[in-house]
Amino acid sequence: MSDQQLLEIVKNALIKSPWVSHLNCGSCNGCDIEILAVLTPRYDVERFGIKLKGSPRHADVLLCTGSVTRSMAPRLKRIYNQMADPKFVVAVGSCATNWGVFHNCYNTLGGIDKVVPVAMYIPGCPPRPEAIVFGVYKLLLKLASLDLEKQEEKDSVSNLTQEPIRSEEVTT
């Protein structure tokens, strides 16, 4: 099998069934319970092949909630480094996007993108489950349009972060 074929398979697998992992970096829990609601029968993202994994090593997408606390920042970085390429980070919630309500708190650093590159922002406090589904769907669209051949040369992540996609039309 040629490299090109292999890459195609990887890409297809990624779009058809992205595995996500979830990390609480200092959130209020609001976004976390909404992420869980996305899994349960009413919203049921598993029908799109999205599966939640406990370990970031198995995941393609990391869903981060909360503004990063000073204690979690080094850990977030580590967990990010443990994920296999290609990998994407989704910032769920206003405080993960842009510090939000915690901007006065001394032990927080700011949005997730202060620490790791973010591919996708889902604002809302908390975003509705529909918004989270929509956000992940937008990410998949973006992935589908990737040219993996070039992608290998360029860094897939930095490429994505240059033009972040926002799904605010859902929440506003």
Partner 1 sequence: MKISMEEIKKEVKTMESRELSDQTPVLRVEPNRLLEEMRKLYDLGLTHLSTIIALQVDNKIQIDYPLSSPLNKKLAPAIFVETIVSMDKPKISTIEDIYPSAVTYEREVTDLLGVEFIGADHRDKLLLPDDFPDNLYPLRKDYTGKELQQKLDELGVGYNPTIPLKEEEDYVMAVGPQHPTHKEPIRFKFTVEGEDIKNVELRLGFNHRGIEKALEQGTWIKNLYLIERICGICSSAHQLAYVLTAEKVDKILDQVPDRAQWLRVLVSELERIHSHILWYGVLAHDGGYDYMFHITWRDREDVMDLLEMWTGNRVNYAMMTIGGVRRDIDENLRKKMIIKLKKLRKNISKHKEVMEKEKTFLARIKNVGYLSKEDAIRFGAVGPTARASNINFDLRKDVPYAAYKEIPFKVYYRSEGDVYATMAVRLDEALESVEMCLYVLENLPTGDIAIKVKTRLQEGEAHTRVEAPRGEDIHYILSDGKNAPYRHKVRAPTLANITSLMYRFKNMQVADIPMIIRSIDPCIGCMERVTFVDAKTGKTKEISGQELISKANRRYRLNEKIKIFEV
- Site of interaction with partner 1 (CB under 8 A): 20-24, 26-37, 39-42, 52-56, 63, 66-75, 77-79, 95, 101-102, 104-109, 125-126, 128
Which residue in 20, 23, 25, 31 binds ligand SF4 (CB under 6 A)? Answer: 31
Binding partner of residue 167 among partner 1, ligand SF4, none, CB cut-off 5 to 8 Å per kind? none
Nearest Cα residue to 151 out of 162, 140, 159: 159
Least distance in Å: CB of 104 to ligand SF4?
Answer: 13
For position 110 contacting ligand SF4 by CB under 6 A, the verdict is: no
Show the site string, 52-91: x = touches ligand SF4 by CB under 6 A, - = not. Answer: -------------xx-------------------------
- Distance CA(103)–CA(105), nearest Å, equals 6
CB 144 within 8 A of CB 13: no
CB 58 within 8 A of CB 20: no
Angle separating helix axes 129-144 and 30-39, nearest 10 degrees: 70
Q: How many CA atoms lie within 13 A of 109 on its CB side?
A: 15
For position 30 contacting ligand SF4 by CB under 6 A, the verdict is: yes
